[in-house]
Amino acid sequence: MRVALAQVSSRLGEIRKNLDAHLETIEDARRSRARLVVFPELSLTGYTLMDFVPDVALDPGRHPLFQKLVAASRTIDVVLGFVEEGGKGLFYNAAAYLSRGRIVHIHRKVFLPTAGMFEEGKFFARGQAIRTFAASFGQAGLLICRDFQHYGASYLHFVGGADLIIVISAAPGRGLEARGAFGSSRMWELMGESISFFSTAFVIYCNRVGFEDGKAFAGGSFIFGPTGRRIVKAPEAEETLILADLALDEIRSARKRLTFLRDERPDVVLRSLHRIVGDDAD
């Protein structure tokens, strides 16, 4: 299975131009025989939207611009980020999985960073669920940026039997090191390595590049295999379409040897969480 990571720089608030760039990249990925192309967080709108969030929000099931992306998924699966209008004046930082000309799944970002340079909680409503779903290549799960730093989110995909954990991100680069690398990129790679190993799943992470409102986005997109082996890493701070071939039979081989999923006890975890939450409520 060939996957394309579209490490792009989106234009802030310019949906039509971003849409055109998406469609062009989707076609490039299709011509490269990729079966899945993954874009970063809020790839359709740009990240630092703030008060412009309502202006770029759309209903993915009805908006004609979004339907062009749905149509493009007839020949290649697509993951992208956008602002979803959820009704009643609520707007979500969302990710969509599109396949065979339909919307398969939408994930609304649960953990919204709202401190320091981040202000998402001021403008977005919080997602209320993390669910694994059936994709073309097995069970898959979507996460958005900060979701991935809360390992409970990946755990839910793990016990849900995810074969692919797909993370889309708009992570800025901090701590410039030798050869132009960002120190903050190592944190994401540590998460990718750890989660892929203990979930015996592929972890696909696509981060954006470019500049917005004084932020430099780091890039450094990557894929880890189900034994924690890094398969590919994109360069930092450069727009690129990077391709990787995934051997999906590695999942079965990994789970025969690493029996984390077989031996997991989500029932014990659930009872313990009920006790912990109940104690906190008291």
- The predicted pLDDT at position 53 comes to 98
Q: What are 253-270's pLDDT values in tens digits?
A: 999 999 999 999 999 999
With a cut of 70, say whether residue 146 has pLDDT above it.
yes
Strand boundaries in the chain, DSSP class E: 2-7, 36-38, 77-87, 90-99, 102-108, 132-135, 138-144, 164-169, 202-207, 209-212, 215-218, 222-224, 230-233, 240-245
- The predicted model gives 240-265 an average pLDDT of 98
Domains and CATH numbers, the chain: 2-281 (3.60.110.10)
Q: Which of 92, 69, 39 is nearest to 208 (CA)?
A: 39
Q: Which amino acid is at 170?
A: A
Cβ distance 206 to 7 under 8 Å?
A: yes
Token digits for 78?
A: 């697509």
Residue with tokens 């994709």, as numbered in its chain: 135
Q: What are 23-74's pLDDT values in tens digits?
A: 999 999 999 999 999 999 999 999 999 999 999 999 999 999 999 999 999 9
